[in-house]
Amino acid sequence: MPAPEDLIWFAVALAAAGGVAGVLAGLFGIGGGAILVPVFYQLFGMLQVDDAVRMHLSVGTSLAIIVPTSIRSFLSHRKRGAVDQDLLRNWILAVPLGVFSAAFIAASVSSAGLRAIFALIAILVGLRMLLNKEHWRLGGQLPENPVRALVGWVIGLLSGLMGIGGGVLNNTFMTLYGRPVHQAVATSAGVGVLIAVPGLFGYIWAGWGSAGLPPFSTGYINWVVVGLIIPITLLVAPLGVRLAHALNKRQLEIGFGVFILSVAARFLYSLV
């Protein structure tokens, strides 16, 4: 078991991660999972959680925390009229189906596999945001169904495997079709709701009865961590929303790109 001083630092790191995740939920519409997953991965390592379930537990616990965080962020953005409600209605089935597919895959994929998926997608999206040019467009309007539904399923699938709220992928999708980044961020908060709720139940199912889980876990969800983090993220999420509407488009893109690339680097290092 870790020493008492390690547990103190653990609690401090957990509180800081919750605060950062809450701001990021409002700022980037990502639900905070991109910061929580790597923090949880280190945290469960300190608590000597079995490596075979460590990444799975990090992803599942992150998705559970994203449920109230993304709802709070979505409601804040909707008050400002920035959310694309039509897109969310189109994805009300496609995104959750993708998340359930992710939970099915997570039940059999290795910890290293989940980390590799996280890092690869994060690198591609981070580079795109940093190197983005105004003329980089796939079209002037979002595609119609069935392409739109397929994109929603893919976003749900990949986000479910990464333990994030979908903003990482939805921001890229919407901006590639000419949508303003502020609208993409606001809509991503709604996408986070469509991902986190089925993700919560999917990862409970995927980890049900797994060996090596720490106490107070249901499947791949650890409720002690969930209970500690959620109040902090809910408190600070509106601050991120205010920042998102105060910064210009390029500032948001650069900030998002640097952030997600730093997360990817951490997971690549863990695979060495």
Please give the C-alpha separations between residue 212 and each of 62, 70, 104, in angstroms, as whole numbers. 18, 29, 19
pLDDT at 12 over 80: no
Q: Is the pTM here over 0.85, yes or no?
A: no
SS3 state at 87:
helix
How many whole angstroms separate alpha carbon 111 and alpha carbon 103? 13
SS3 state at 212:
coil
Q: What backbone phi and psi angles, to 5 degrees, belong to 218?
A: -120, 110
- Tell me the per-residue pLDDT of 112-158, one tens digit each, with 9 for 90 and over: 888 888 888 878 878 877 886 666 677 778 888 899 999 999 999 98
Q: Residues in the chain, how many?
A: 272
- Tell me the per-residue pLDDT of 24-71, one tens digit each, with 9 for 90 and over: 666 665 556 777 787 788 778 877 888 889 989 999 998 998 888 788
How many whole angstroms separate alpha carbon 87 and alpha carbon 190? 10
Across-strand partners of 218?
221
- Tell me the per-residue pLDDT of 176-201, one tens digit each, with 9 for 90 and over: 888 877 788 788 888 988 998 999 99
Q: Which of 200, 226, 213 is nearest to 60 (CA)?
A: 200
Confidence bin at 4 (pLDDT 50/70/90): low
Please give the C-alpha separations between residue 144 and each of 23, 141, 176, in angstroms, as whole numbers. 32, 9, 15
CB 23 within 8 A of CB 240: yes
pLDDT at res. 6: 58
- Two tokens at 164? 């994030």
Confidence bin at 2 (pLDDT 50/70/90): low
pLDDT at res. 195: 93
- Two tokens at 174? 């919407």
First-residue to last-residue Cα distance in the chain: 26
- Two tokens at 96? 């959750």
Side-chain-side CA neighbours of 145 within 13 Å: the count stands at 9
Peptide bond into 146 cis (omega under 30): yes
